[in-house]
Chains A and B, each alone.
Chain A
Amino acid sequence: MTLSIEEVEHIAELAKLALTDEEKARYREQLSAILDYFNRLQAIDTDDIPPTATVLPLHTVLRDDVPHPGISREELLANTEHKENGMFRVEAILDESP
């Protein structure tokens, strides 16, 4: 097993998922299997291959700096009940943004 339960809990926290003990055990197994597979890939010698972030034959795709209207505020907020004064309403945020 590659992953510890603590690591699964950390990943769950990062993904904002609340997991039961049973789920933690299950995901530990599944995620470990995935990591094991990647460890097999790690064994391949890639020293001469530059890191590849994309396989698309594209680069430097740019647009001109011309503003266009987007969507209306009503459309933006159409799918939520959590709204107030034209804004999304969220739980109190006290600590500062990271």
Chain B
Amino acid sequence: MIEYEPVIGLEVHAELLTRSKMFCSCAVVDSTEAEPNRYVCPVCTAQPGVLPVINRQAVEYAMMVGLALNCTINEFNQFARKSYFYPDLPKGYQISQYEHPLASNGWLEIEVGDSTRRIGIRRAHLEEDTGKLFHVGDHSLVDLNRAGVPLLEIVSEPDMRSVEEVEAYARKLRAILVYLGVNHGDMSKGVLRFEANISIRPRGSEELNTRTEIKNLNSIRSLVRATRYEIQRQIEVVESGGQVVQQTMGFDEDTGRTQAQRGKEQAHDYRYFPEPDLPPLHISREWVAEIGERLPELPDARRERFIQEFGLSLQDAVVLVADKAVADYYEAALAAGGDPKIVANWVTGELFRLMNTAGLEIGGIRVAPEALVELIALVEAGKINNNTAKEVLEIMFETGRGAEEIVEERGLAQISDSSALEVLVERVIAENPQQVQKYLGGKEGLLGWFVGQVMRETKGQANAQMVNEMFRKRLEALREG
């Protein structure tokens, strides 16, 4: 039986977080919330006699992404018209870049399991987003708030060889965009969209076979599901003696299947030509250097710093830096006095578990980093034990209240009062002469059983370490006595 490997390239469309649009001064707003057609002007709605002007910030954001992806930032930039007819595109063409993209020939390093791989970045170019269509009954409605929002299209080489690599690439790229502050990464808002180009070939072969293109994937989850399905579909086509047909496909979220898109069979005839309304854009080497100096710390560098500075394991560091908000939360907890390793355990363990169950991102939780540190301090001071602390965190997570307050109110404080504990220790010894004899006869393993009796008596709130020590001393005294 032939073993197949997929050959996958991704195109990612990222909206840039500028305040105004790509070629006009309309405000960029959350297009899922704003009232339709409130952020429009003659330029982005294609009124006659208007001229576009390039947004400097969009160019700088694109340069930042290009540099973070190890690309060459090209000196000569020319915008181009990509013509097609669709109601969400008021001009009848999209201003994009074709022969002269802003950035090219870069790479992105991804980690899958224990290995790292470099995925080539072919190009990244600036363009403008389209408006939005709402389908109602037998007609559609057009909202142009989003028309003209700056969009960066990032095109990888067909270097990915598994679904896992596709997911790692998408997550890494998203993290970089968020670290750079050029995109907020919230896919439910449509600010990050994926297209996958997929073909298959016998493993070990170097040929590039006919590929299909899956459009409009709006989440990493959809990207992963669609890619997995499409690889399997192609394998089945080939195995049954058929041939993969080059086509554009959509992904149906409900059925989990890819299917060829309806519509005209003819290849799109985009008729790219230089945009006559925009003079060329020259990006000087000085400008590139200046932007390079302004790049913030990126995920890989932060991961290394977490390992060096805080002594974290590679695995903990990778998990913590994957989401910038989590890494920021972690560092805020350290700034509040938390121990690096203990805080890392709490964040990646209990806090992540609670967030997953509640379906929340770290930005949406009610436990401030300082509050988590306060909880950990209670454990360190012996006031509560680890299990109680987990319960307290759960209450903090639900109510947003402070650890100390909860411990106080529910009487969860660990009993560390030695005179109170001594009474209990004496009682257990008095009530269990047989066990005492066995212990003295050499079954020292029973020490845990004695401690367990006191823990049960106190509903788990006794300071187990203290009780342990008390029993040992008391029983050894009996042996000698």
Contacts and interface: CB of A to CB of B under 8 A. Distances in A.
B15 to A, nearest CB: 14
A60 B281 CA distance: 4
Nearest to B142: A88
A74 B26 CA distance: 16
Contact of B139 (A56, A90, A98): A90
A25 to B, nearest CB: 23
Q: How large is the interface on B (under 10, 10 to 19, 20 to 34, 35 or more residues)?
A: 35 or more
Interface string B80-96: 00011111100000000
B53 A62 contact: yes
B45 interface: yes
Contacts of B58: 65
A17 to B, nearest CB: 11
The interface residues of chain B, by DSSP majority, are classed as loop
A63 B135 contact: no
B388 interface: no
Given A14-B269, A87-B143, A67 B27 contact: yes
Contacts of B262: 94-95
Given A54-B274, A91-B140, A93-B87, A65 B41 contact: no
Interface string A34-73: 0000000000000000010110101111111111101101
Contact of B53 (A54, A63, A85, A88): A63
A92 interface: yes
Given A62-B54, A63-B25, A98-B268, A70 B142 contact: no
Contact of A65 (B19, B42, B144, B274): B19
17 contacts: A14-B83, A14-B85, A53-B280, A62-B281, A65-B18, A67-B19, A71-B41, A71-B45, A76-B45, A84-B139, A84-B141, A87-B143, A90-B141, A91-B140, A92-B140, A93-B133, A97-B130
Interface of A: 10, 14, 16, 51, 53-54, 56, 58-68, 70-71, 73, 76-77, 84-98
Given A56-B279, A61-B278, 13 more contacts: A14-B85, A51-B274, A53-B276, A59-B281, A59-B282, A63-B55, A64-B57, A70-B25, A76-B40, A86-B36, A88-B144, A92-B138, A96-B216
